[in-house]
Amino acid sequence: MLRMAAVAKQLSTLDRYLPAWILVAMGVGLGLGALIPGLDSALSSVAIGGTSLPIALGLLLMMYPVLARVRYEELGHLRGERNLLLSSLVLNWLIGPALMFALAWLMLPDQPAYRTGLIVVGLARCIAMVLVWSELACADREATAILVAINSLFQIVAYSLLGYFYLTVLPGWLGLDTQGFSVSIWEVARTVLIFLGIPLAAGFLTRVIGLRRRGAEWYEGTFLPRIGPITLYGLLFTIVLLFALQGHQITTQPLDVVRIALPLLVYFVVMFSISFAWGMASGYGYPRTATLALTAASNNFELAIAVAIGVFGATSGEALAGVVGPLIEVPVLVGLVYVSLWARQRWFAEQTPGPARPTAAGAVG
């Protein structure tokens, strides 16, 4: 327990207490929903891509600092990481979505909205917070940066295709009762292009220009910590609005949050276990095995929330499922960092230096 506390202390204050901030935002949102009648109509009066303008701004604010942290320049090192890259692609884009699909249908067969929301979460691969988990677990920093950069770019194309496959095509093939539900590729692609494409372009340009004009030391040590908390503020702002809109549904069915949380918990643990075993069997050594496992077990909940809201609406069960994601993911992944460090001592002979304290506060994602 003491070592677990030591790991948690290496997170920034904002990241360490993220579940608490989310719970506070949920409470504030429920209070606003009860005090302000007609809030739904007011928020929907101006929209971007079918999403309320205030919520859309919150989503874009969530994504930009995350994508400004991605080390796109590491993509030039791909040739030396082919085996690790292939393993990561299989785990992230084949096994991960399939596992979440199976868990969603097994554990929420009577809740199509929550089930769909979980599948949307499973398709969104982590592109930021895993950099923090990697540091804490003494994983391979450069390999993590490469995998994060690949996931960032891969999501632009893969997310909408896989979304259509898992939400519409595969249930039809398996004869599952979707209650007439279907989603088009364009619905998902449009949302991804808006809420991932725009901040991805902005983050990429910011990094290229910042590194060229001011250098890596200023960019990593000064600029990123300065903009890092914006992600958290955008997330909390969005959660407040979502819970203000969904207040009645949540207060009348409080156990729904628990039902959504359970498959998420199972997913993170099982996905980490599969990926860690994969890395060990492949002989990657501890640093890269930890990188592989933590990258595959994490999810980009900012994108999942954006897609759920953009495609299904802010008052949907899908959006609620997306919001529960970070509430569960952060404490679970902190625990899995501890598991990684235990596994290093138990099964790996090589020693690595202690983790450096993450410098970019508010690096959720």
Please, are residues 327 and 121 in contact by the beta-carbon 8 Å criterion? no
The burial class, CB within 10 Å (0-12 / 13-18 / 19+), for 172 is: exposed
Amino acid at 151: N
Tell me the per-residue pLDDT of 130-157, one tens digit each, with 9 for 90 and over: 877 888 898 998 888 888 888 888 888 8
pLDDT digits (tens, 9 = 90+) for 26-39: 889 888 888 887 77
| Token output for 89 | 């692609």
* pLDDT tens column, 224-270: 999 988 988 888 898 888 888 877 677 777 789 899 999 999 999 99
43-47, 235-239, 280-284, 322-326, range with greatest mean pLDDT: 280-284
Q: Which residue has the higher pLDDT, 280 or 51?
A: 280
Nearest residue to 257 via CA among 19, 55, 97: 19
β-bridge partners, 125? 299
On the CB side of 68, CA atoms within 13 Å amount to 31
Alpha-carbon torsion angle 357, 134, 189, 91, nearest 10: -170
Amino acid making up residue 82? R
**pTM for the full predicted model:** 0.83
Smallest CA-to-CA distance from 120 within 326, 347, 323, 308 is with 308
Rounded Cα distance, 130 and 196, in Å: 18
Ordered by start, the domain boundaries in the chain are: 2-347
Question: Could you tell me the fold of the domain covering 2-347?
Answer: Na+/H+ antiporter like fold (1.20.1530)
Q: Dump pLDDT digits (tens) for 288-334.
A: 999 999 999 999 888 888 888 888 888 888 988 988 888 888 889 88
pLDDT of residue 79 exceeding 70: no
> Do 77 and 146 touch, CB atoms closer than 8 A?
yes
